[in-house]
Amino acid sequence: MARILVLGGTDLANAFIAALRAAHPDLEIVLSLAGRTRDPKLPDCVIRTGGFGGAEGLADYLRQEGITALVDATHPYAAQISANAATAAAETGTPCLHLVRPAWEQAPGDNWYPATDYEDATRHLDALSQTHPLTVFLTVGRQGLEPFHYLMNGTHVVRAVEQPDEAELPPGARAVLARGPFREADEAAFLKENEIDVIVSKNSGGTATYGKILAARSLRMPVVMVARPPVPEGAIVGDVESALVWVETAL
């Protein structure tokens, strides 16, 4: 029996697995999660949790478990696991697909400050805070907070799915726990109520968190947009339908 390993932890991965089960009910699907989220959304398939031990450990798993094909449907900013997937697949001769939702495109009315990484984003904040203190809405996830500990002229509002550890939060930051999707009207109200001056966001793509971008556009609010890391070489698609077509060729 063919076995597909899906590296997931995203809504896109879950949607792909649901569609794959419908199209191939006899196919064995294994979903691998990093284990950082305490209460993840889980589709109906075999679940494994935890790391593999780098690219070599993932290659060993592919061999030992007889994996027919590998689909990397992790978050666009999970650069290390995507790189490990490409390396392990090449080493073992396993067909590998990167399922990556398309990035947001800047539209008329958007006031974006492009940043290459989190450190570059902090430089934008330093420049913007020269004239007055900033209230910064940080929506970069728990793993990306450390570089923002050093903004001197401002405070942070941090939104996360789960409560960050105190040491993870920038000094004086306030954490808001919420899980998308977020509507534009609700995001606009949130930005006004919290007197936000600027948003820092990853270019995650998709619709679940796009409401804040629409709200910032309507309020003419600046957004420091952190660019995605490069995707490894190999097959890349941006939607479930294209991923299903790829599976047909890989099986």
Query: In this predicted structure, what is the pLDDT of residue 150?
Result: 83
Q: Give residue-wise pLDDT tens across range 82-91.
A: 999 999 999 9
Domains 3-102+230-250 and 111-226 share a fold: yes
Query: In this predicted structure, what is the pLDDT of residue 231?
Result: 86
Q: Give residue-wise pLDDT tens across range 124-161.
A: 999 999 999 999 999 998 878 899 988 778 899 999 88
Q: pLDDT band for position 165 (50/70/90)? A: confident
Q: pLDDT band for position 221 (50/70/90)? A: very high
CATH class of 111-226: alpha beta
Residues whose CB is less than 8 angstroms from the CB of residue 9 and which lie 6 or more positions away in sequence, other chains included: 33, 34, 36, 37, 40, 74, 75, 78
Give me the mean pLDDT over the 52-76 stretch: 96
**Domain boundaries defined on the chain:** 3-102+230-250, 111-226
As a CATH number, domain 3-102+230-250 is 3.40.50.720
DSSP state of 79: H
Query: In this predicted structure, what is the pLDDT of residue 251?
Result: 85
Residues whose CB is less than 8 angstroms from the CB of residue 71 and which lie 6 or more positions away in sequence, other chains included: 4, 5, 6, 7, 13, 16, 96, 97, 99, 243, 247
Query: In this predicted structure, what is the pLDDT of residue 241?
Result: 97
Alpha-carbon distance 225 to 202, whole Å? 6
Beta-strand ranges (E) seen in the chain are 3-7, 28-33, 46-49, 69-72, 96-99, 111-115, 134-139, 154-160, 174-177, 198-202, 222-226, 235-237
